[in-house]
Amino acid sequence: MSSPKKQYYENLADSLIEKFNQRGIEGYYCDNKEEALTVAKRFLTPGCSVSWGGSMTLDEIGLLDEFHNSDYIIYDRNKAKTPEERSELYGKIVTADYYFMSSNAITLDGKLVNIDGNGNRVACLITGPKNVIVIAGMNKIVTDEAAAMERVRNMAAPPNAIRLNRKTPCAELGRCANCLVPDCICSSLVITRRSHVPYRLKVILVGEELGY
């Protein structure tokens, strides 16, 4: 028998998946990260090209290890040794068959809310890769856009700034200071209302707390 919290997650996910469908987004719910890994791998086809945006969630479910131990064509920007190599990799990433990422927040009516520093992650979310697969723990669900901004700025950005060794006020204070310092990781805000190409975007909701 499911715990009350697990049942709540399932019920909430069901309603979110309906909202996603209205927005041309394909939705799935997985009880745990092991199941999420299995579902994520089902999308991949032999010989396909794969890339991803920076995400603790992908690491936590074991997806990045799967990529590095696979026969897929992998576009990993962290393998670039020079600015020229990184630029060349970015050009390949936008042509990937599958692009994986998480979302900083997801509203109850099915919008994805993301803030990015370099912009490469949100750029691929918007256009480029043939399929974008978003994997997010149920801790990312918020009531509306205002709550999403609050979560992104004060719950997601500070630990990410620490993880990336950025010299930002939020890394020191643990909360957003609306900074414009050189190391700021909040350069571009993207709210995804719908998938312009029907079902290009796929969201796998996971009944656990994952990522920041």
pLDDT tens for each residue of 92-118: 999 999 999 999 999 999 999 999 998
Q: Is 187 among the domain residues?
A: yes
Q: What is the pLDDT of residue 78?
A: 86
pTM of the full structure: 0.95
- Whichever domain contains 80, its CATH number is 3.40.50.10420
> How many domains are there within the chain?
1
Q: Which residue has the tokens 């414009």?
A: 180
- Give the SS3 label for residue 149: helix
Task: Please indicate, yes or no, if residue 212 is contained in any of the structural domains.
Answer: no
**For the chain (length 212 residues), average pLDDT per consecutive 10?**
87 97 98 97 95 95 93 91 91 96 98 94 97 98 97 95 95 95 96 98 97 94
* Inside any domain, residue 17: yes
Q: How far is CA 45 from CA 78, 97, 110, in A?
A: 23, 9, 28
Domain of 78 in residue numbering reads as: 4-206
Q: Residue 125: which of 102, 146, 150 has the closest Cα?
A: 102
What contacts 13, CB < 8 A, 6 or more positions away? 27, 29, 138, 205, 207
Owner of token pair 């920076």: 54
